[in-house]
Structure 1
Amino acid sequence: MGVPAVVPVWLLWYLAVNGPLAELGWTQREPTENDGMLLWLVIVVPVVTAFGLLWWLANDFTRRWNTAAARVYWPLCALVTLVPTAALIIFS
């Protein structure tokens, strides 16, 4: 699920950069982004929700076949999911 995670992670980052982080003065808004944040929320919420549900269902199914403790399994799954995104950031 790491490769499909690139899309929701990017959407969350784009939303954060153009919304709350820009309001705090930590980033600058995209100059051509003048449609408002409601449109982005309409796109981001369903995509992130669908990905989160699919990620959880796939890992819950896999967890039943795995002998690792839950306190180790779930954080490791979250980190491994972010590896393709981190690789794209590093090597681009």
Structure 2
Amino acid sequence: MRRQSWIAAGVNLLMGVPAVVPVWLVWYVAVNGPLADLGWTQREPTENDGMLLWLVIAAPVVIAFGLLWWLANDFLRRRNTAAARVYWPVCALATLVPTAALIVLL
């Protein structure tokens, strides 16, 4: 059964590569929207079209990726022996590894 754990980790690492796009979109909307309104960040000076356009672009991408991620992991979870309280956080962290690597390297 240990093989299924490595398969789940590999699938989530591979899904982490396209996950860079939705993570970046969420970051961009947050930095130029709610976080800037709270005074935690400064808005992009050239972003003068408003955030509605970005939400129209970001929402379908993030929802589609989240649905794909959940369906793949739900399928793999049925074949895995790990407890759910361990499986889901580990899969989420494995998916974020490529984004973290890009942040560290760039």
TM value normalised by structure 2? 0.85
Residue 58 (structure 1) aligned with residue 67 (structure 2): no
In structure 2, runs of 5+ residues without a counterpart are 1-14
In structure 1, runs of 5+ residues without a counterpart are none
Separation in structure 1 between the aligned mates of residue 99 and residue 19 of structure 2, nearest angstrom: 7
Q: Which residue of 2 aligns with 1:8?
A: 22
Aligned residue pairs total 92
Deviation at 1:64, TM superposition (A): 1.2
Runs of 4+ in structure 1 off by over 4 angstroms are none
Q: CA deviation digits over 1:4-47, x for unaligned, max 9?
A: 11000000000000001111111111111011111011011100
Deviation at 1:65, TM superposition (A): 1.3
RMSD over aligned Cα atoms: 0.6
Amino acid in the other structure paired with 1:28? Q
**Percentage of pairs with the same residue:** 86
TM value normalised by structure 1? 0.97
